[in-house]
Amino acid sequence: MAILDIEDLSKTFGTGELAVHALQDIRLSVSAGDLTALLGPSGSGKTTLLLCISLILEPTSGAIVFDGNPIYRNGWTDTDLRRLRREKIGFVFQTPNLIPFLTVRENILFPLELVGITGHKAEARVMELLDYMEIAHRSNYVPAILSGGEQQRVSVARALANRPKLILADEPTAALDTVRGKKVMELLKKIAREHQTAVITVTHDVRMIEGFDHVYHLKDGQLNNASGVI
Amino acid sequence: MDLAIRDIAQHKGKFVATVIGVGLLFAVVLSMNGIYRGFIFEGLSTIQVTSPDLWVVERYRGGPFNEQSTVPEFFHYSIEALDGVEKASPFIFYGVERMIHGNRKRFTIIGYDVFGGLGGPQNLTAGRQIQQAHYEMVAHAKLGFRIGDKIPLGLHSYTVVGLFKNGTAPDGEPLVYLSLPDAQEILYLRDNEEVRNQRERLQQTLTGPGLLTPTQAKKYVSLLDPNIHTVNAQLVNLTPGADPAAVARQIENSLYFSVYSNDQQINLMMQGRLAMPRKQLLLFRIILLIVSVVIISLVIYTFTMEKIRSIAVMKLIGAPNRVIVRLVLEQALLLTTCSYVFGLGVIYNTYQYFPRLVQLTSFDDTVTFLIALAGAIIASSLGIWQALKTQPALALGGH
């Protein structure tokens, strides 16, 4: 079943002669457990597409259907977007973007508390994720004293906390060396396979997407080569 | 999870330093409140402590504190003879500066009728009232005298027989109470050379135009010494049921003095001598409070802006606005409260070392806290507004 369906999605910045068509008639379908990569040069519209999928940036036209529910159809539907994000979408950023004044444990606990999971249940989930990411020994450290790779693993753990249906990763390996970058990508693949979580990652590094199910190229706001499995 | 507390716990040093800085600012604001109150309290202290029913002063004068006033000493007999007057007694009041046991001391002398007259010291903390016509004094404890000390003033030494803490002159100087004749002698005391010169001038005035022979003149000169039997006011207490306004009118019309009730005397001071410095202090107080609120606002705004990326991440992962509002508002309130409590602690442990009275009141303390709290809420609303308009896209590096 498709987790995400995007139909004829367009985004235009500005109007008239100054209009910039950042996205044009994008069609994309992502199913549970799919590993999808969006490739493209700078300015091709990758981040704009990710922002639209993240329900942060309102498209100009088209439709977004998430888990069978229409979210956008030439305008936002009355869905609580922030609630949808915290319950069904996990985010992994270019830089880990952990909350610096919270410990590793608290960074993972935070999204759980946002959906009302507290106490033993929350602690158990945090410990499960820390073990899964092999960072349990760092649970009471603040992010500043972790390595870049460790921070990114915490970031992935935080994204997984609420068992999301979709993980959006914005160049998750950009700030890491090749070895650590590959480890993070392997982790995302493992998550997709083991948890049936759909993963969409934006990247410009083709070496990092080996084994992905779908690879899309974005150029001048248009999605093509939408079939290739590397 | 309390994000505000977590943030503070991770940045303890910064928080403590900010609390100390803002707290010292609050200490200055609170001290200004106390200085303002103390200034008014001291300005009215002698009037409040003396507290007769009526003050009789020189005609058309707002004396004796707001303006100089001179009235003949013995008019208290005339006043006492009027209907409705129970007691009238002379009162003299002037400031001096003297070297006492090697230390320069400024104080204000009050001379009064020590044998049952009005205007004597109240609420002695040690010793007793003056019981002799001469050479005894009751002094403010602030002067550092002890019971039994001999204090040289003019030609004589005066024994300290009593101490008190309640009462200062309008300019904050401690009071010293003497018997009326002692106070007059000290006030009008001239040195011998001055006495000789004055007598010589008088001798020449009398003999120059040939009015008197030198022998006759010499005989009269000693009798024409200046009159020292003047005082600054007559204090009046009324008989029970007497109408103060009617008695005042009677004194004004028959004896040609000006008469004020105690409340009118207080008003004279508040509208006169104390008015300008009071306004000055009040304005300074307001400016200080505004500066404090602005500084707190900037600190809170800076605290919020430092977290703006984290706030963007929170919004992106779906944190509702109330979580973000609580984070900013709670920190603002914590910072303000901790700083205020620190400032309060500082001023309550130091106010007694100020040279003049710092009168701290719980009313001022509470009002200052509430204003600071309101300022913090307004300030945090600026931070909250900034936080709420932060785009979650900032966490993704913008678009």
Would the CB atoms of B317 and A170 count as touching at under 8 Å? no
User: Which pair of structure tokens corresponds to residue B197?
Assistant: 């010169």
Taking contacts as CB-CB distances below 8 angstroms, the residues of chain A near B318 are: 82-87, 89, 111, 114
**Chain position carrying tokens 């998750």:** A172
Q: What's the CA gap between B253 and B134, in Å, rounded?
A: 35
Q: Can you tell me the mean pLDDT for A208-221?
A: 84
Which domains does chain A possess? 31-61+77-224 (3.40.50.300)
Would the CB atoms of B318 and A86 count as touching at under 8 Å? yes
By the 8 A CB rule, do B28 and B291 touch? no
Distance from CA of residue B300 to its chain's centroid?
36
Instruction: Answer yes or no: is pLDDT of A14 > 90.
Output: no
**Chain position carrying tokens 């404090």:** B292
Return the ∠ at Cα A87 (arms to A81 and A91), rounded to 5°. 85
List phi, psi (to 5°) of B158: -120, 135
For every one of its 399 residues, what pLDDT tens digit does chain B have, with 9 covering 90 and above?
889 999 999 889 999 999 999 999 999 999 999 999 999 999 999 999 889 999 999 998 887 888 889 899 889 999 999 999 999 999 999 998 888 878 888 999 999 999 988 999 988 999 999 999 999 999 999 899 999 999 988 888 999 999 998 888 888 899 999 999 999 888 887 777 777 788 888 888 888 777 788 888 888 777 776 667 889 999 999 999 999 999 999 999 988 999 999 999 999 999 988 999 999 999 998 898 888 888 888 888 888 888 888 898 898 888 899 999 999 899 989 999 999 999 999 999 999 999 888 999 999 999 999 988 888 888 788 888 888 888 887 877 643
Question: Beta strands B156-164 and B136-140: pairing type?
Answer: parallel
By the 8 A CB rule, do B326 and B381 touch? no
pTM of the model: 0.79
3 state DSSP class of B51: coil
Over chain A, what is the mean pLDDT? 86
Taking contacts as CB-CB distances below 8 angstroms, the residues of chain B near A113 are: 1
Enumerate the H helices of chain A as residue ranges: 46-53, 81-88, 104-114, 119-132, 148-160, 178-195
pLDDT score for B29 = 92
From the list A56, A106, A110, the residue facing B316 with the nearest CB is A56
pLDDT band at A192 (very low <50, low <70, confident <90, very high): confident
Minimal-distance CA residue of chain B relative to A85: B318
**Chain A closest-CA separation from residue B337 CA (Å):** 22
Q: What's the CA gap between B261 and B6, in Å, rounded?
A: 62
Per-residue CA distances from B317 to A35, B107, B218, B222, B330 (Å): 21, 71, 109, 103, 21
Q: What's the CA gap between B399 and B396, in Å, rounded?
A: 8
Residues forming a β-bridge with A4: A30, A66
B228 close to A (CB below 8 A) = no
Minimal-distance CA residue of chain A relative to B306: A100
List phi, psi (to 5°) of A33: 80, 0
pLDDT tens figures, A98-125: 999 999 999 999 999 998 988 999 999 9
pLDDT score for B225 = 67
pLDDT tens figures, A39-90: 888 888 888 888 899 888 899 999 999 988 999 998 889 888 888 988 899 9
A127 close to B (CB below 8 A) = no
Would the CB atoms of B396 and A82 count as touching at under 8 Å? no
From the list B6, B318, B396, the residue facing A47 with the nearest CB is B396
User: Which pair of structure tokens corresponds to residue B110?
Assistant: 């009050």
pLDDT score for A228 = 46
pLDDT score for A225 = 58
Per-residue CA distances from A103 to A78, A162, A169, B86 (Å): 35, 18, 22, 81
Taking contacts as CB-CB distances below 8 angstroms, the residues of chain B near A83 are: 318
Distance from CA of residue B380 to its chain's centroid?
37
Minimal-distance CA residue of chain B relative to A83: B318
Distance from CA of residue B341 to its chain's centroid?
26
**Chain position carrying tokens 């507390």:** B5
- In 3D space, the residue among A59, A54, A42 whose CA is nearest the CA of residue A218 turns out to be A42
Domain definitions of chain B by residue range: 3-43+275-396, 45-271
According to DSSP, residue B63 is labeled: T
User: Which pair of structure tokens corresponds to residue A162?
Assistant: 């609420």
One-letter amino acid of B275? A
A50 close to B (CB below 8 A) = yes
List phi, psi (to 5°) of A115: -100, 10
**Chain B closest-CA separation from residue A147 CA (Å):** 19
Give percent of chain A with pLDDT exceeding 90.
Answer: 30
By the 8 A CB rule, do A3 and A32 touch? yes
